Amino acid sequence: MTERVLIIGAGHAGATLAGLLRQAGHPGPIELFGDELDLPYHRPPLSKKFAEGELEQWLRPMEFYQDQDITVRLGDRVVAIDRAERRVHVASGESYDYDHLVLATGARPRPLPVPGADLDGTVSLRTLADARILRKCVAERRRLAIVGGGYIGLEVAAVARANGVEVTVVEREERVLARVASPRLSEILTAHHRARGTRILTGARVVRLSGADGRVRAVVLDDGTEITSDAVLVGIGALPRDELAAAAGLRCDQGIVVDAQARTNDPHILAIGDVTRRPLGTGTLVRLESIPSAAEQARQAVATIMGDVPTAAEVPWFWSDQFDLKLKIAGLVPPLPRTVVRGDPSAGRFALFHHDNGTLIAVESANRAAEFMAGKQFIASGTRIDPARLADDTTPLRDAILH
Amino acid sequence: MPKVTYELPDGTVHDVDVPCGQSVMDGSVRNNLPGIVAECGGSCSCATCHVFLEAGESFFDEPTDEERELLEFAEGVRPNSRLSCQLIISDGCAAVRVTVPGTNG
């Protein structure tokens, strides 16, 4: 078997897949295409680190790809897929044949649809190139406004504030992290940020960015409030980069639709990472943006390409660092959770267990890694817990399990 | 350069040169050895680089509280369980040996 695998997208999903395919013994050519100029890198540090040299963490050193006989083509973009001929065309004019094509094209920042969003000093954060611009902006200009109180916004807020920058977070919803976290976690994190001097405005609608000489000077809200700032980070979510797939006639619905084995509706084309919408447990399609999800889908794709047994479903999880809080979250927080609090939120060590009649659905933890690990296991195994015992921090976690 | 011996889930044994300052996890990732998944890249966030430290314990710092907590509920945990991202190789390291479990995801 010398089947040729082309991977479009050199982010965490694509680069992980390339390495795992060799690990699994794939003997044929593997080519990894990336439209950025940097080698595949870790994205989490982009919003969590600030100091020179901490941003650039390569997934693998350059020699790795040579040693593993993986061809990396950077700075070029795939512009079309010819499904009938099983060939892709790139912007520079070349074309490449495939036996398996894997789309790992990721997501792009959602643009802020208001006047002034193109002023100098306004940035979004997705790539290493973006992070370099943001760091320069923040280092030179001492007041940062962040539009969007999601994880990216709050992580940057924390690291900027810790470096003495004046930070204002502007959130359209009534609470930060409204789409992804429980109301209780939103409340705890809001208090944690405010106590460290970050201004957080919720229910605040941005109508325009104002500037002088082409540079941003303020964020203007619908009630007339002006937030003076020298730099503006827009962090209002991301959109799947599924245009290439859609143009090729692959099934897309707010992301490339795949099954639990990373397969699209074309038997020669797989898709993995932030760009996909895929079935989780109950069968509803979700699009997750996280490293563990990218890695899980890379493992699914390896099994499919190698003809191995399909991988078992994993509990979704992710992590975030904000000031001294190391947050780890497992499961998807339901809209109206019943919540058990264990530990002390005001001391920055706690776990919020969300359950349905004792069946654990999600856990949100800060500086309580054991609770996170136990919670993730309990969710995977459908373990039922006793809420009262779980709430008592002196009762060992194992003793909160109902048998 | 210090050598680290990895016994993999399939029973094969690999001796790898790991430069000082790098971790036992780095040595595995760099050589594309299976078993150490290392999703978080070594920030002690994910517990997908779990190993059993069979020899060389004295060369490494004691686990931090965070590492201990991550390991407490890790699959197949044993008394010599460590997160390999926290095992940093230094000059004096010799005969470090780890067994990699097949349960890192």
CB of B55 less than 8 A from some CB of A: no
pLDDT value for A202: 98
For A69-80, what is the mean pLDDT?
A: 96
pLDDT value for B55: 95
Residue of A372, A381, A383, A401 best to disrupt the B interface, most CBs of B under 10 A: A372
Domains A111-234 and A324-402 equal at CATH topology level:
no
C-alpha A324/C-alpha A306 separation (Å) is 43
Residue of B31, B46, B48 best to disrupt the A interface, most CBs of A under 10 A: B46
B39/A295 touch (CB, cutoff 8 Å), yes or no: yes
pLDDT of A373 above 80: yes
DSSP state of A296: H
pLDDT digits (tens, 9 = 90+) for A298-328: 999 999 999 999 998 899 999 999 999 999 9
Q: Predicted confidence band at A281 (pLDDT cuts at 50, 70, 90)?
A: confident
A201 within 8 A of A169, measured Cβ to Cβ: yes
Q: Which residues are CB-neighbours of B44 under 8 A, at least 6 positions away?
A: B64, B66, B67, B70, B83, B85, B86
Q: What token pair was written down for A273?
A: 């990472």
**From its phi and psi, is residue A280 left (phi > 0), alpha (psi between -120 and 50) or beta?**
beta
Task: Report the chain B residue with the minimal C-alpha distance to residue A57.
Answer: B41
Task: Report the chain B residue with the minimal C-alpha distance to residue A368.
Answer: B69
pLDDT of A123 above 90: yes
Angle between the N-to-C axes of helices A12-23 and A291-306, in degrees from 0 to 180, rounded to the nearest 10: 40
B105/A370 touch (CB, cutoff 8 Å), yes or no: no
B46/A319 touch (CB, cutoff 8 Å), yes or no: yes
The pLDDT mean for chain A works out to 95
Distance of CA A395 to the CA centre of its chain: 34
Q: Is the dihedral of CA A288, A293, A298, A302 positive or negative?
A: negative
pLDDT of A1 above 70: no
pLDDT digits (tens, 9 = 90+) for A217-273: 999 999 999 999 999 999 999 999 999 999 999 999 999 999 999 999 999 999 999
CATH tag, A324-402: 3.30.390.30
**H or E element, residue A210:** strand A206-212
Count of other CB atoms within 10 angstroms of residue A378:
26
pLDDT of B16 above 70: yes
Of B32, B33, B70, the CB nearest to A373: B70
pLDDT value for B87: 97
CB of A150 less than 8 A from some CB of B: no
Per-residue buried b or exposed e for B40-70, using 16+ beta carbons within 10 Å of the residue's own CB? bbbbbbbbbbbbbbeebeebbeebeebbebb
First CA to last CA distance, chain B:
30
pLDDT value for A69: 98
CB of B47 less than 8 A from some CB of A: yes
C-alpha A256/C-alpha A263 separation (Å) is 10
A242 within 8 A of A75, measured Cβ to Cβ: no
pLDDT value for A222: 96
Q: Is the dihedral of CA A31, A33, A37, A39 positive or negative?
A: negative
Q: Which residues of B touch A397 (CB under 8 A)?
A: 73
pLDDT of A128 above 80: yes
Q: DSSP string spanning A155-197?
A: HHHHHHHHTT-EEEEE-SSSSTTTTTS-HHHHHHHHHHHHHTT
pLDDT of A122 above 70: yes
pLDDT digits (tens, 9 = 90+) for A175-216: 999 999 999 999 999 999 999 999 999 999 999 999 999 999
Q: What token pair was written down for A66?
A: 């040579």
B6 within 8 A of B16, measured Cβ to Cβ: yes
CB of A23 less than 8 A from some CB of B: yes
CB of B73 less than 8 A from some CB of A: yes
Output phi, psi for B31, to 5 deg: -100, 10
Beta strands A122-124; A231-234: pairing state: parallel
Residue of A288, A373, A379 best to disrupt the B interface, most CBs of B under 10 A: A373
Fold for A5-108+238-306, please state it.
FAD/NAD(P)-binding domain (3.50.50)
pLDDT digits (tens, 9 = 90+) for A140-155: 768 999 999 999 999 9
Domains by residue range for chain B, with CATH: 3-99 (3.10.20.30)
pLDDT value for B102: 87
Beta strands A122-124; A284-286: pairing state: unpaired
Q: What token pair was written down for B52?
A: 């059993």
CB of A349 less than 8 A from some CB of B: no
Q: Which residues are CB-neighbours of A126 under 8 A, at least 6 positions away?
A: A43, A107, A108, A109, A238
Q: Which of B16, B39, B30, B25 is nearest to B87 (CA)?
A: B25
Cross-strand partners of A10: none
B73/A57 touch (CB, cutoff 8 Å), yes or no: no
pLDDT value for B45: 85
Cross-strand partners of A36: none
A:B CB pairs within 8 Å? 55
Cross-strand partners of A168: A145, A199
Q: Predicted confidence band at A284 (pLDDT cuts at 50, 70, 90)?
A: confident
Of A68, A295, A374, the CB nearest to B73: A374
Task: Report the chain A residue with the minimal C-alpha distance to residue B45.
Answer: A319
Share of chain A above pLDDT 70, in %: 99
Q: Class of the A111-234 domain?
A: alpha beta
Residue of B17, B26, B30, B69 best to disrupt the A interface, most CBs of A under 10 A: B69
CA distance A219 to chain B (A): 35
CA distance A369 to chain B (A): 5
Q: Which residues are CB-neighbours of A189 under 8 A, at least 6 positions away?
A: A154, A176, A177, A181, A322, A325
Cross-strand partners of A366: A327, A350
CB of B63 less than 8 A from some CB of A: no
pLDDT value for A136: 85
Q: Where are the domains of chain A?
A: 5-108+238-306, 111-234, 324-402
Q: Predicted confidence band at B105 (pLDDT cuts at 50, 70, 90)?
A: low
3-class SS at B73?
coil
pLDDT value for B11: 93
pLDDT value for A337: 87
pLDDT digits (tens, 9 = 90+) for B23-59: 999 999 999 999 999 888 888 888 899 999 999 999 9
Greater confidence (A86 vs A336) lies with: A86
For A130-135, what is the mean pLDDT?
A: 90
Of B39, B69, B75, the CB nearest to A291: B39
Q: Which residues are CB-neighbours of A358 under 8 A, at least 6 positions away?
A: A384, A385, A386, A387, A402
First CA to last CA distance, chain A:
49
